Chains A and B, each alone.
Chain A
Amino acid sequence: MEILNNLALGFGVALSPFNLLMCLIGVLLGTLIGVLPGVGPVATIAMLLPITFNLDPIAALIMLAGIYYGAQYGGSTTAILVNLPGESSSVVTCLDGYQMARRGRAGPALATAAIGSFFAGCVATLIVAMFAPPLAEVALKFGPSEYFSLMVLGLVAAVVLAHGSLIKAICMVLLGLMLGLVGTDVNSGVLRFAFGVSELADGIGFVTVAMGMFGLAEIIANLEQKGHREVFTSKVGKLMPSKEDFKRIWAPILRGTFLGSALGILPGGGALLASFGAYTLEKKVSKNAHEFGKGAIEGVAAPEAANNAGAQTSFIPLLTLGIPSNAVMALMIGAMMIQGIAPGPQVMTERPQLFWGMIASMWLGNLMLVVLNLPLIGMWIKLLTVPYRILYPSILVFMCIGVFSLSNNPFDCLMMALFGLLGYICVKLECEPAPLILGFILGPLMEENLRRAMLLSRGDPFVFFQKPISATFLIVSIVLLVVIALPNIRKKREEVFVEEPG
């Protein structure tokens, strides 16, 4: 059994004391920022990227991955106790989780979320271990035209699955692609869009874009609201769900896990989409559909399982194809590049320790989360009472330190501020920043592959439709765009994303 050998190798790496510590730090940090509303994994990972310079690549990636799936656990705590999504993927957990808490069943709701997440985490880890290697093998045969078409598909899918206006999302992708081209053109050595600024010769720093568009813009937008956070501090009560509860949640957890895993693999997918999808599905198939929105335990179990599964399987396209499926994965690519690792299918064969170590650490991280989180819930609740006016200056200090340490140059702080401004404008104009980040990462890669493909085909643009794999990617992209543009499906898509907390 090759997979067992590989997993053994992975656990050997992940169980080293230092990597275990990094995994623990990652999941704790992830839970922390998951619990705190207004601080997301994108900003946190961006903040920590510069610090990972000095770490060993495996340890760095293990920690960053832990932040992402740890945030899914933490987000549900806030959703259930405060009726605020600590994490965007916990929005649907608010609906029924908070209602359960109001009825004095906060304990079982929290436990259900943790159990569902843990089960989903185990299954998703296995799925990653099983499906990533064959996919990477296929990907090794990809030429430039296949890669180009795959990136088109990835970007189209990201656009289709983003909420809000379709055309604006496409524009944001294009803008991201163009911003990614700033700097020295590798083929000709020409400096593009640098306007005589020597700091732009290497391009715009990825971390500054992510921190500005997500971190700064988020803080500014949060400060607009004069919100008072009402923490549901009544005692959590006994944690364990009853036998009756278990009977009701096992099927939703299973369905949520598999739906979440499938949606996580899709380009543009991930935790957010998975939780929305699972909640909608559960509402359709459940016997207790009438209880949804009034504290149905199924409405907590399914989306929580799904978002954790989705968070983990979204690593598959990253690890096998080197293509990010959402903004967090784009940051992971950034982290790999910082470490001098070219993301792509060769990672698995050239650096099996990294690949399998990361997979094993995901399972260990999930175990840590479920063991640590329930006992620590009291502490997380206390944290929720920290007012935002204390929180945001602290976040800002860490962001500034992180950005400045990139190259010890004030210019990076200036760029972060500029992208903060752009991000704020985009918030006001309802343009999603996530597609921009994806485009930004893929811009240079797309140009490179387009050039190579066109060179090989002697300038014939139809080459993309002549190779079967490439043609399939493009046709799927076109079908997706056409389908989503049809009026009644567009209406459905909008409905899925306006499931407001009640």
Chain B
Amino acid sequence: MAIKSPKDFWAGVMFIAFGGGMAAIALTNYQMGTAVRMGPAYFPVLLGAILGALGLILFARSFALKGPAVAKFHFRPLLFILAACLAFGYFLKPLGLIGAVLLVVFISAFGGHEFKWKEVAILYVALIIFSILVFVKGLTLPFPICPSSIEDFCRF
């Protein structure tokens, strides 16, 4: 049998995995309870069963009804944008705002179509000044500005 509607097929797979998976986890790990006194598993199992069933319909339908192909995944922007977020999260404390914003701007800029060093550098300088003034000074978010190793040298 051939898949006629790839979008429905993969959506079906995704929903079956989520619904079935979460229902199974709930069923094995938490108390089901009764309809009068519902345990922590009751509602998730109910939802998961419906989600799984609907996913199954999508899955089955994808072999019968014709639908469009899944549009191409563009891995370049996907990976660079997600990496930029992670870099910010995990490097803010060691590198300070100055370092973390640098990472976000440059990594995300690599995910685009054109990369111009000068332009990105100017953008970075503008953004870091704005962020320090508005977020750290203005809104008093407790972010370190400088990398922790040279913190003592740059007090503003």
Contacts and interface: CB of A to CB of B under 8 A. Distances in A.
Q: Please indicate whether A and B come from the same complex rather than being unrelated chains.
A: yes
B36 A216 contact: no
Interface string B109-128: 10111100001100100010
B82 A216 contact: yes
B36 A219 contact: no
A497 interface: no
Contact of B38 (A393, A401, A454): A454
A216 B10 contact: no
B19 interface: yes
The DSSP consensus for interface residues of chain A is: helix
Interface in A186-243: 187-188, 190, 192-193, 216, 219-220, 223-224, 226
A450 interface: yes
Contacts of B140: 54
Interface string B17-31: 011001001100011
B55 interface: yes
Nearest to B10: A429
B92 to A, nearest CB: 6
A405 B127 contact: no
A393 B103 CA distance: 10
Contact of B57 (A51, A167, A429): A167
Contacts of A220: 74, 77-78, 81
Contacts of B88: 397, 400-401, 404, 413
A453 to B, nearest CB: 10
Nearest to B89: A413
A424 B55 CA distance: 19
A170 interface: yes
B149 to A, nearest CB: 19
B51 A193 contact: no
A167 B7 CA distance: 13
Interface in B89-141: 89-90, 92-93, 100-101, 104-105, 108-109, 111-114, 119-120, 123, 127, 131, 135, 139-141
A168 interface: yes
Contacts, number: 179
B81 A412 contact: no
Given A170-B54, A394-B127, A396-B85, A428 B71 contact: yes
Nearest to B85: A417
B132 to A, nearest CB: 11
B40 A192 contact: yes
A461 B86 CA distance: 46
B50 interface: yes
A431 B11 contact: yes
Nearest to A456: B36
A368 B132 CA distance: 30
B108 A396 contact: yes
Which of A192, A400, A414 has the most CB atoms of chain B within a 10 A radius of its CB? A400
Given A193-B22, A417-B82, A429-B10, A451 B38 contact: yes
Size band of the A side of the interface? 35 or more
A455 B105 contact: no
A389 B114 contact: yes
Interface in B25-66: 25-26, 30-31, 34-40, 43-44, 47-48, 50-51, 54-55, 57-58
Nearest to B55: A171
A393 B127 contact: yes
Nearest to A391: B123
B84 interface: yes
Which of A174, A425, A446 has the most CB atoms of chain B within a 10 A radius of its CB? A174
Which of B88, B127, B142 has the most CB atoms of chain A within a 10 A radius of its CB? B88
18 contacts: A165-B8, A171-B55, A174-B47, A174-B51, A193-B25, A224-B74, A392-B112, A393-B108, A393-B109, A397-B88, A397-B105, A400-B104, A403-B89, A410-B93, A417-B86, A420-B81, A429-B10, A461-B35
Interface of A: 51, 54, 165, 167-168, 170-171, 174-175, 177-178, 181, 185, 187-188, 190, 192-193, 216, 219-220, 223-224, 226, 388-390, 392-394, 396-397, 399-401, 403-405, 408, 410-414, 416-417, 420-421, 424-425, 428-431, 446-447, 450-451, 454-455, 458-459, 461
Given A401-B88, A420-B85, A428-B70, 18 more contacts: A54-B140, A174-B51, A174-B54, A178-B48, A181-B47, A188-B39, A192-B30, A193-B44, A219-B81, A220-B77, A223-B112, A396-B85, A396-B105, A399-B85, A400-B104, A403-B89, A430-B11, A455-B36
